[in-house]
Structure 1
Amino acid sequence: MSKLFKSPKLVIWMVTYNHEKYIEQAVESIMAQQTNFDFQLFIGEDCSTDNTRNICLELKNKYPDAIKLVLNNKNIGSNKNGMSMYDLCYKSNAKYIALCEGDDYWTDSFKLQKQVDFLEANPDYEVCFTNINIINDKGEETKEQLITTSPKTTYTQKDLPLRVPTLTRVFKNRDFSNLQIAPGMDTIILLYQAQFGKIKYIDEITGTYRQHDSGAYTSKSKAKRKEHNFLTLFGCLQLLKPPLLYKYYGMLFKKLVELKRLNSALFKKRQSQLKKEYKSKKSSFSKKEQRNIAIGFLLLKTPFFEHSKLLSKVILILLNRKFIY
């Protein structure tokens, strides 16, 4: 990739922070892509405290035309950094965007070509993703493939939330700047994208997800991870209308049940947040749905369930039956 890409067909979104051990492999796996179209890598380096920035500068020098490197003057956090890079990708006027974080990497040199070929041939699809394997910090494989069963290969908004590996996604370029920032923006963005078209799963492994203790999600405590999941689903509410809105309330109740067993203070805070939101959306639900949501809040008051795995399991089953299945 030696020529200047004035108008690439595809841009790759990448964010990185303290990835000195991984960033070179991530970038080189992208530079190894074989395509019949131009692409460019956009890297947002978030003021790392290790040698990540220097490595990024070296890679920029190695691939001056293929990499656009953004060096933040101060650390702004993964969500703001990510949304800033989405905005730059959107303004590139590329037709498609692909995702890969700085601690993951691609393993199929024809990954982009396969996914773009599909999207070009199927304009009613908005997003295309594939399978991955998982390794630990030592590079040892811990999971041969993330998705072990796939009953179908086409999904719509009603199927969400869905396990869609971030590092494999390729999608049409859209403006995400009006979305409210929340943990798990990849989940919220996918929900937004599903308004415009279908989601395609290609049953091939094209990348590797690296699980390590310093990851943005894995470094959190178990309670904080549950809160993260709650806030992700809560952030989805901004995009939902009945009947999907009702389903997501059920999932939020389930996250609160799990959170109550781990941290009562976080549980109370997020329960209060959901109650306030419900009051503003109550008229969106049918009378039957309103009754079931009231039951959901009552179930959260069940005494001592946070100390009983069996009682918690019973409550989760009831929530599934009332809201989801």
Structure 2
Amino acid sequence: MQIHTKPSHRISVLLVTFNHENYIRQALNSLFGQVFNEPIELIIADDASSDATLNLIKEYEGKDDRFTFKYLDSTTNLGITKNYKRGFSACLGQYVAVLEGDDYWISAFKLQRQIDFLDTHWESDLCSVNYFVLEEDRFHFHPRAAIGNGHRLISARDLIADNLVGNFSTCMYRKTALDTLPLKLFEICSYDWIVNICVARSSLIGFLEEPMSVYRLHSNGVWTQTPHVEKLKQQLEIVPEYDNLTNNVFHAEFEVLSNRLHHKIQTANLVDAVAVMTPSTAGKISRMMDYLPPVLLSVARVFIPPKLKRLIVRVIQRDAA
């Protein structure tokens, strides 16, 4: 007979880092500033940082009696998917919150409010929070969703259509949900989106509308550095694998997403083509438009994406000048 023992910590915080020395203090300060009067198991999953990230984390040891530090091996770079796999496995708490080393929390009550939600909402295995996106190079903040004081419930199908959860640093999971993630999930390139879709196969996601976290976009981030069209292509390529991973239960939703990504890629390619158009070519197009029947121009205005229309107008005006 298997005996289940009660976790020694009600909550584990999984700190995921890789070369985050410029950001880790802000992340840790937001964690250590949480108003939460229970023990916290802190799992440090550093993916072989080559900078001072780990040394900076060690400076926080002994500063707060609530925290028990547990370091995972940091001698080998595993990549984000395998790093999360071992991190989730190492957490022993009833609940698991994630904090990535270049993000930070802006509510001192984030952990408590998420625990309170999961304690009373058994239909949810994941509680996420609204967040600000920080575009660091432009010094620009904007909220991911409309700010409110309530919550909404999100299904896996909702998440496929729009990844409202957005990033791991907003998430708190029931450990039992993480333990039942399919092993195949960690054999392919997996990020927060597909992890949360898998969690939501048998539960709903609670989304607290108050912003409590900041997702940082910076020039050192791999995803931030990836060109827009390449991001879309990567998403499109991975959709069939995610569809298979979820046993085609959400095939219709993934098909809609694939069609939308195809359209975005085609539009982006057209925009790029117009952007590099030579003045002589732009002039020819402008003169050709003078001879097109008005009805064809009206149809074109309906079907050409607004962004492309604006760019065409700018190119033609550039040539006219």
Length-normalised TM-score, structure 2: 0.71
Aligned to 1:31: 32
Q: Distance in 1 between matches of 2:246 and 2:182?
A: 18
Aligned to 1:194: 200
Aligned to 1:274: none
Q: Distance in 2 between matches of 1:80 and 1:95?
A: 22
Residues 22-65 of structure 1 deviation map (CA, whole Å, 9 limit, x = unaligned)? 01111121121122432222121111222212212323464585
Aligned to 1:111: 110
Q: Is the 8 A contact 1:47 1:53 kept in 2?
A: no
Q: Is the 8 A contact 2:33 2:108 kept in 1?
A: yes
Aligned to 2:244: 238
Structure 2 stretches of 5 or more lacking a match?
Answer: 1-6, 270-299, 307-321
Q: Is the 8 A contact 2:198 2:246 kept in 1?
A: no
Q: Distance in 2 between matches of 1:87 and 1:231?
A: 28
1:286-325 correspondence to structure 2 within 5 Å: none
1:48/1:60 CA distance change after superposition, 3 Å: same
Q: Distance in 2 between matches of 1:15 and 1:310?
A: 46
Q: Distance in 2 between matches of 1:259 and 1:139?
A: 25
Query: How many residues matched?
Result: 262
Q: Is the 8 A contact 2:243 2:250 kept in 1?
A: no
Residues 134-175 of structure 1 deviation map (CA, whole Å, 9 limit, x = unaligned)? 2243794421x1112789711222322231132111121122
Aligned to 2:18: 17
Residues 255-305 of structure 1 deviation map (CA, whole Å, 9 limit, x = unaligned)? 244446678xxxxxxxxxxxxxxxxxxxxxxxxxxxxxxxxxxxxxxxxxx
Question: What is the percentage of aligned positions where both structures have the same residue?
Answer: 24
Q: Is the 8 A contact 2:124 2:203 kept in 1?
A: yes
1:63/1:119 CA distance change after superposition, 3 Å: same
1:134/1:75 CA distance change after superposition, 3 Å: same
The alpha-carbon deviation at position 111 of structure 1 amounts to 0.8
Aligned to 1:287: none
**Are 2:152 and 1:147 aligned?**
no
1:237-256 correspondence to structure 2 within 5 Å: 237-240=243-246, 244-256=250-262
Aligned to 1:280: none
- Secondary structure, counterpart of 2:240 in structure 1: helix
Q: Distance in 2 between matches of 1:183 and 1:260?
A: 24
The alpha-carbon deviation at position 118 of structure 1 amounts to 1.3
1:149/1:27 CA distance change after superposition, 3 Å: closer
Length-normalised TM-score, structure 1: 0.71
Larger Rg: 2
Q: Distance in 2 between matches of 1:177 and 1:102?
A: 26
Instruction: Quote the RMSD (CA, aligned, Å).
Output: 3.1
Aligned to 2:76: 74
- Secondary structure, counterpart of 1:250 in structure 2: helix
Structure 1 stretches of 5 or more lacking a match?
Answer: 1-5, 264-307, 315-325
Q: Is the 8 A contact 2:48 2:77 kept in 1?
A: yes
Query: Which sits farther off after the overlay, 48-57 or 113-122?
Result: 48-57
